[in-house]
A and B are shown apart, each in its own frame.
Chain A
Amino acid sequence: MNVENAKAQMRKGVLEYCILSILSDKDAYASDVINKLKDAKMIVVEGTLYPLLTRLKNAGLLSYRWEESTQGPPRKYYALTELGKDFLKELDNSWNELVEAVQTINQTTKVEQK
């Protein structure tokens, strides 16, 4: 059990949530999503994203369309489906609960320590 591993496990759990959250703002193509995740230090290697996008799409949470780009070949633009929006709402709630829970635990522990 090392700390890097534990961190990675934590990130894994919320990665799907983050992708849905990024796409809830506006439709984006894979590289946009990657850049946002990288800026936020949510992913280390880009390869992580593609299996996730495919899985979310196959689960019916995402859809995509091809869009011509000004330079280069057409790009895949991902968007949330209705199902994806509902799913995201659920995750929003549980994320807030989780954050609260962790905060509560941390606070009470610290109080006890004092």
Chain B
Amino acid sequence: MKKTVSINLNGLVFYIDEDAYTRLRSYLDKLEAWFRNKDGAAEIIIDIENRIAELFEEKVQPGVGVVTLPMVEEVIKIMGEPEEFEDPDSGFENESAGTTGTYYKAPKRLYRDIDDRVFGGVCSGIAAYFNIDVVLVRVIFGILPFVSVGVIIPVYIVLWIAVPPAVTTAQKLQMRGEPINISNIEKTIKDEYEDVKKRFSKIKDSDTYKKGKDFFSSMTKRDKTVMIVVLLLAGAALLFGNGIHMPVLNGSFMPANMVILGHPGFAVPHIYLPGVVKVVLILALIAIFVKPLFKVLMYAILIILALVLFFPLLIWLIGMLAIIF
């Protein structure tokens, strides 16, 4: 059994097998990438799509028959891969390059790698930029807040906001400093299809409750390890230590539970957790690891938080009422 997709080519509807669709899509993407910088690119693509529709029409009745993978392969063979197009413009200088296609080396740029991210993909982007292991960058980013360099947290957030994500294939290649040529683009696009396919099948199998877990299981093993270590260290510092160092501007936005230590000129407040927050965190931890207690503990946390938040308000209200009456 195969799933079919319906596509509209030049006003004709075709049913097409999913695998055939994937192949056709990647072929058209490749063409688009190939003609990207040429005049009339959109027109050329439309003309080619129309011709593909015509070729399909010779084989199957639109809206009735199904286009299969062998048909798509045959049509692509007829149309040819972009490298095979004999374009007078690409000229004779291309001779020695053979069929490698146009070669365009773009300067490396810093992007956020949103395909490999824990939060915003900042660390993986930096790793790609300097061509180092992403784990190393994450460990550094994870440890810095504990050694009195909490400023890395706002830095991370600023990077998250300021650095553009690598969305297009060209950007992803640029992020890794790989040359933007057709074979690379094709390879990347293929990789992405596999990835998207995998994700789709995963989402299909999961309901809303499992989604968070799904994200977790989609991370690679070492990423998980890093995240767990970072979270455990942060948790330990909060629960048992003196809190987390985080320099912020003196007198600016600062929660009430931060205490400013007396460093002249530069305020280094510690985040201290009041006892009640620690209780809540410990309950939450138990809830995560002891499934049967999850619901009960969540209710307990809600009640505690409600009490903590509303108790002072209640007292205050009673006081106000007492004044009025």
Contacts and interface: CB of A to CB of B under 8 A. Distances in A.
A30 interface: yes
Interface centre among A1, A11, A44, A73, by most B CB within 10 Å?
A73
Given A45-B84, A54-B44, A73-B11, 19 more contacts: A11-B86, A15-B86, A15-B88, A30-B51, A31-B51, A45-B80, A45-B81, A46-B78, A47-B48, A47-B79, A47-B80, A47-B84, A48-B80, A50-B51, A51-B85, A51-B87, A52-B88, A53-B47, A76-B47
B35 interface: yes
Interface string A21-60: 0000000001100100000000111111011111101100
Contact of A45 (B40, B53, B54, B78): B78
Interface in B22-69: 31, 35, 38-40, 43-44, 47-48, 50-51, 53-54, 57
Given A46-B79, A54-B44, A72-B57, A5 B95 contact: yes
Contacts of B57: 72
Nearest to B54: A31
A102 interface: no
A43 B39 CA distance: 22
B12 interface: yes
Nearest to A45: B80
B309 to A, nearest CB: 65
A8 B86 CA distance: 7
B299 interface: no
A108 B81 CA distance: 41
A5 B10 CA distance: 35
30 contacts: A1-B95, A5-B95, A5-B98, A9-B92, A12-B87, A15-B86, A30-B50, A30-B51, A31-B51, A34-B51, A43-B86, A45-B78, A46-B78, A46-B80, A47-B48, A47-B79, A47-B80, A47-B85, A50-B47, A51-B44, A52-B87, A54-B47, A57-B40, A58-B39, A72-B12, A72-B53, A72-B54, A73-B12, A76-B47, A76-B50
A5 B97 CA distance: 11
A48 B87 contact: yes
Contacts of B11: 73
Contacts, number: 83
Interface of B: 10-12, 31, 35, 38-40, 43-44, 47-48, 50-51, 53-54, 57, 77-82, 84-89, 92, 95, 98
A45 B77 CA distance: 7
A35 to B, nearest CB: 12
Interface centre among A13, A34, A45, by most B CB within 10 Å?
A45
Interface centre among B11, B12, B39, B47, by most A CB within 10 Å?
B47
Contacts of B43: 54
Interface centre among A9, A50, A57, by most B CB within 10 Å?
A50
Taking residues whose C-beta sits less than 8 angstroms from the other chain, chain A's interface range is 20 to 34
Contacts of A55: 39-40, 89
A45 B31 CA distance: 14
Nearest to A13: B88
A112 B38 CA distance: 47
Contacts of B82: 47
Given A1-B95, A45-B79, A72-B54, A50 B86 contact: no
A13 B90 CA distance: 11
A72 B10 CA distance: 9
B80 A51 contact: no
Contacts of B54: 31, 72
A30 B280 CA distance: 72
